[in-house]
Amino acid sequence: MIDHALEDGVLSTLKTLAMQTSADDLEIRLELNETTQIDTLDDRIIRQSHVSDIGGNVRVLVKGVYGFVHFDGWENLAIHVDEAILLATWGHHQAPPFHMTPTAPIQLIQRLDVKENPLTVPLDGKGALLRHYADIAHSAHPTIKSVTTRYFDRYRHLWFANNHGTAIEQEKLDLGGNIIVVARDRQGVAQRGVSFGSSNDFGVVRQLDDAVHDAAITAASLLDAPEIVGGEYTVVVDPQLAGVFAHEAFGHLSEADGQVGDPGLLGEMYLGRQFGPENLHIYDTGRDLGSRGYLPIDDEGVAAEDVDLIKDGVLVGRLHSRETAARLGETPTGNARALHYRFPPIVRMRNTVIAPGTAALDDLFQGIGKGIYAKGSLGGQTNGELFTFLAAEAYLIENGQVTRPLRNAVLTGNVFSTLAQITAVGNDFTRYESGGGCGKAGQMPLPVSHHAPSLRIERCLVGGRRQ
Amino acid sequence: MIEFGIQPGTIDQIKWAGTDLGDAGEFSRQSWSMTMHGGQSPVVRHGSEHLRAVRVVCNGRLGLAASRTDAWDNLLREARLAALSGPETSMDVSEVPGGRVYMSKSHWDPHMLPKMEVTLRHIYENLQELSPDFRPSVTVSYYERTTHFVTSLGGQAAWLHGYWEVTAGGRQVDGTDFHGVSGVRIKGDGIPDTASLINDLRERFQWGKSRRTIESGQYPIVFLPPVAMGLFGPVLARLSGPALVAGNSPWKDQQDQQILSSMLSLFSDAAVPDGPQTGPFDDEGTATSRHPLIAEGILKHFVLDRDASRRLGHEPIGMGYRTAFNAPIQSLPANLMVLPGAASFSQLLNRFPHLLVLNGWIGGRPTNPMRGDIAGNASDLYWVENGVVVGRVKNAVISVNAFEALRGQLLEVGQEAQWVTQGMMQAAPGNIPPLLIDRVDVALKQ
């Protein structure tokens, strides 16, 4: 607990320090983080920890060069400010003069707004819940040989001030995890997981009985599933995988720090370009209370904007930090995020959303002679142009019917062509939250969300052996 | 009570009770780096981190306490309390010699900053010359970690390890074609020689200037170190503590059996001078060395931290590490070293009239590590004719089973090993040579 006299003192100290600076731009950030993590194997806890992090950082911009210092503890803040300025100015950098676009100063104190606070749930209770899920999985099928679970919750208390008059105190919460069910028999090993996450409710951890049971049955069914034959298929992806698709196949490309200084890419990513079908609407929002991508104020002290990225199939926006917005003559969008005080904020997604369409799920399969129905996600990756995402389950579609399970479904494609190959957007919009996270520039796992409906995509390249 | 400043006190002042069985570590990390990304402001960074961690075993249960600021007495009290309801453990305390301290000299000197900047600019300017539209990205860093470790049995050790890392690369976007190159160099006692890095990047950029179209099918492929490392991920998963304790690893009873090609020898090496994870002890205070994991394809040692070692009846040999500064201990190798072979890169390219070279693999990680199936989008793939790289291949998905690739399909191990850093896709740093693997499935978009 923190007493309020201290809180007032922290913010006023930061404001005073920030306003005294000679730097063009200065931010001071202090954090107090408390993280609880529990790992279980079957009916026993194999690891549990509760760790506190206390520290902060100073970032300055002087004549176009950043100095960034991070530190543990909250001592010697004035010295850290001087050090950051020294780093930005000591050398012979000849960066072109650059000034960030000023943003409206924000004065804000934001407290937690939670349904069930994980910090009030005893450690024993969390462990018992995870062991309960292991019991469910083991009872579901005799081939289930092990169940591993991981749970975490992280409370963050942040204080932020800059030399433009912004002063913010925020409390944040993030929780999540996964339950991995492993089936094994003479034919091999198969696994299926259940993932969960929230930024305001431990209750999501209490609602997984059916999902865990289903995961166990699915893992067992995948044991004798043949491997997918690589090639081009029409694929139907469920809302969970469609969300990952939006994140990997387009979200990262929309991050403007990947575009500035790249005339070739900026030539392709011009606003107004037709990217997908007319019923495709993709946006990024920080204002979905309860989602792991909830971020009303970003880590540069900028208020969240909902950012339409693709509207009516047309590229209409991109995600910005203050720097990238200034360099491209656009407006900051509240997408500058830092995983921890050890890192400077960079452009990241929050909750990336594909808006619902009108097609019923059954209709998505119609007319597919041979295709793949891919469900759930084991993650994805992109380099801007290409993307890959790993489905947790895959099934063969034959003549419009889902027929049998397949294993090792890896869907890949080219960002610029694949969005145009979406031929149907489902009406089964789902707010799925996972316990994973996004990785970029060494900052992983950053809590993000992706909400979406099912999609049908033509000519998707699927990996697999046995040509 | 939360402490906002780092509390005074040294680790050797911890007041262990006679009944305590435990250890404590004080970890300090300093980092300096300079970064230039095309189109963005340069960044000069310095970070200092400090972590205190105490572990206590009480009645077979483990109590942990870790903080960046707390006093040692508080942490010891918290760990004892946590042990009352902590997980069951088989962990014991390492036999660190009493009163001995192992320290090496820091390589850091503020005068290195100008040298870092010269290196940074030199690489950046060379990359700018590749093409007017090439967008370079270069970082020069120095990392240094000091560890001070004590046990309730009176053992004490302190050591320091630092290394330099240069990462460089960039990309050119032409229409919707991204042509990216990247590389890394690591050195223990100074800024790495950048000439070979620049030459590699320049060469690969030239290779990719022209494009080639091939048919779907099976091809011999040279996996360069960054992607070859991905093949060892499932191997480490089968060798490591969690899979063995859970009974999920098919290799549980395979010690001294042939599990991979006889061309492959893998070590956990904590003594290699340039290794990011080099040190006389692991993060649990267990003395480290160079241990064979797989020798000429035969399984020799599992990758086990102290808890997993004791559970499985093995003697701990120093493979308990943290993946991040304040992350829990895991079963991990120190530096994963794969013994290089005799073939030069040029010789590998001449083994077949036609083959492929793979250096980037988007999503190249297993859907099921125990099974080892991996498929990913080839982001950096080249076509070779009669030993000469003739162009870049696009829109290809490469699919392998890691265990089959490293057993029956492995044709040759190259001699030019390179460091692959620990990161989002790699739990441990590795020094990996190129691998020539036969009959790899390649699916091309029509």
Does the beta carbon of B70 lie under 8 angstroms from any beta carbon of chain A?
Answer: yes
pLDDT-based confidence at A50, cuts 50/70/90?
A: confident
What is the Cβ-side half-sphere exposure of residue B109, based on CA atoms within 13 angstroms? 9
Residue B16 pLDDT more than 70?
yes
B397 CB neighbours in chain A (<8 A) are: 230, 410, 412, 461-463
CB contacts of B214 in chain A (<8 Å) are: none
Cβ-proximal residues to B227 (8 Å cutoff; 6+ apart), any chain: B358, B359, B360, B361, B364
pLDDT reported for residue B80 = 95
Nearest residue of chain A to residue B171 (CA atoms):
A262
Predicted local distance difference test score (pLDDT) of residue B321: 94
DSSP state of A146: E
Q: Give the tokens for residue A280.
A: 């495709």
Q: Is the pLDDT of residue B429 over 60?
A: yes
* Residue A6: per-residue pLDDT: 56
Q: Rounded mean pLDDT of B38-60?
A: 94
Tell me whether B211 touches chain A (CB under 8 Å): no
Strands (E), B82-229: 135-151, 156-174, 177-187, 211-212, 217-223
- Over residues B118-135, the mean pLDDT reads 96
Residues from chain B contacting residue A74 (CB–CB below 8 Å): 4-5
- What's the mean pLDDT in A219-241? 93
Q: Give me the residues of B, 351-380, that contact A with CB < 8 A.
A: 360, 362-365, 367-368, 370-371, 373, 375-377, 379
Helix/strand number for chain B, H first, E second: 8, 23
Average pLDDT score over residue span B78-102: 85
Interchain contact, B82 vs A50, CB within 8 Å:
yes
- Chain B residues in contact with A219 (beta carbon < 8 A): none
Give the model's pLDDT for residue A368: 98
| Burial per residue of A363-389, b for 16 or more beta-carbon CB atoms within 10 angstroms, e otherwise | ebbeebeebbbbbbbbbbbbbbbbbbb
**Interchain pair B4, A45: CB under 8 A:** no
pLDDT surpasses 50 at B131: yes
Would you tell me the crossing angle of helices A123-140 and A209-222 to the nearest 10 degrees? Answer: 40
Window 44-103 of A: residues touching B by CB (8 A cutoff) are 44-55, 61, 64-75, 83, 87-88, 90-93, 95, 98
Of A65, A48, A227, residue with least CA distance to A131 = A48
Residues of B in contact with A53 (CB under 8 A): 68, 326
Query: What are the Cα distances from residue B157, in Å, to B152, B167, B283, B323?
Result: 13, 32, 12, 21
Residue A1 has what pLDDT? 43
Q: Give the pLDDT band of residue B246 (cuts 50, 70, 90).
A: confident
pLDDT at B316 over 90: yes
Contact B214, B383 (CB under 8 A): yes
For the segment B158-182, the average pLDDT, to the nearest whole number, is 94
The answer to whether B8 faces chain A, any CB pair under 8 Å, is no
Judge whether residue A282 has pLDDT over 80: yes
Q: CA dist B370 to A419, A431, B409, Å?
A: 33, 31, 19
Contact A73 B69 (CB under 8 A): yes
When pLDDT is cut at 50, 70 and 90, the band that residue A58 belongs to is very high
pLDDT of residue A188: 81
Measured in degrees and rounded to the nearest 5, phi and psi for residue A46 equal -105, -15
Q: Which residues of B touch A263 (CB under 8 A)?
A: 133
CA distance A342 to B134: 30
Nearest in space to A260 (alpha carbons), one of B126, B37, B125? B37
pLDDT per residue as tens digits for the range B352-367: 999 999 999 988 777 7
pLDDT in tens, A64-91: 999 999 999 999 999 999 999 999 987 6
Q: Tell me the C-alpha distance between B393 and B226, whole Å.
A: 18
In B, minimum Cα distance to A222 occurs at B368
Mean pLDDT (chain A, rounded): 93
Q: Please give the helix or strand (H or E) that residue A6 lies within, else none.
A: helix A4-19
- Integer-rounded Cα Rg, in Å, for chain B is 24
More confident residue, B369 or A430: A430
Q: What is the pLDDT of residues A146-197, one digit of tens each?
A: 999 999 999 999 999 999 999 999 999 999 999 999 999 987 888 899 999 9
Q: What percent of chain A has pLDDT over 70?
A: 97
pLDDT (mean) for A283-303: 96
- From A22's Cα to the closest Cα of chain B, the distance in A is 18
Quick check: B140 contacting A, CB < 8 Å? no
Q: For A122-142, what is the mean pLDDT?
A: 96
Task: Please identify among residues 186-245 of chain A the ones whose CB lies closer than 8 Å to any CB of chain B.
Answer: 188-191, 227, 230-232
- Mutation target vs A (from B81, B173, B393, B395; most A CBs, 10 A cutoff): B173
Mean pLDDT of A265-287: 95
According to the model, what pLDDT value does residue A4 have?
54
Q: What is the pLDDT of residue A467?
A: 47
Those residues whose C-beta lies under 8 Å from the C-beta of residue B25, and which sit 6 or more positions away, are B11, B51, B52, B53, B147, B148, B149, B150, B283, B285
Residues of A in contact with B86 (CB under 8 A): 45, 48
Cβ-Cβ contacts under 8 Å, A66 against chain B: 41-44
Q: Say yes or no for a CB contact (<8 Å) between A87 and B46.
A: yes
Residue A167 is predicted with a pLDDT of: 95
Chain B interface includes A2 (CB < 8 A): yes
- Per-residue pLDDT of A4-32, as tens digits, reads 555 668 899 999 999 888 888 999 999 99
- pLDDT of residue B199 exceeding 90, the answer is yes
Q: Is B103 on the interface with A (CB under 8 A)?
A: no
* Phi-psi group of B391: left, alpha or beta (phi > 0 → left; psi -120 to 50 → alpha; rest → beta): left
Q: What is the pTM of this model?
A: 0.94
Among residues 290-329 of chain A, which lie with CB inside 8 Å of chain B?
323-324, 327
Looking at residue A97, its pLDDT comes to: 77
So what's the pLDDT on residue A463?
Answer: 83
How do residues A356-396 score in pLDDT, each as one tens digit? 999 999 999 999 999 999 999 988 888 888 888 889 999 99
For chain A, give the percent of residues with pLDDT over 90.
78
Each residue's pLDDT tens digit, B50-72: 999 999 999 999 999 999 989 99
Complex ipTM over 0.90: yes
Q: How many inter-chain contacts (A to B, CB under 8 Å) are there?
A: 285
Question: What is the distance between the alpha carbons of residues A295 and B212, in angstroms, rounded to a whole number?
Answer: 45
Mean pLDDT score, B275-295: 94
Q: Which of residues 48-67 of B touch A (CB under 8 A)?
A: 48-51, 64-67
Cα A449 from chain centroid (whole Å) = 5
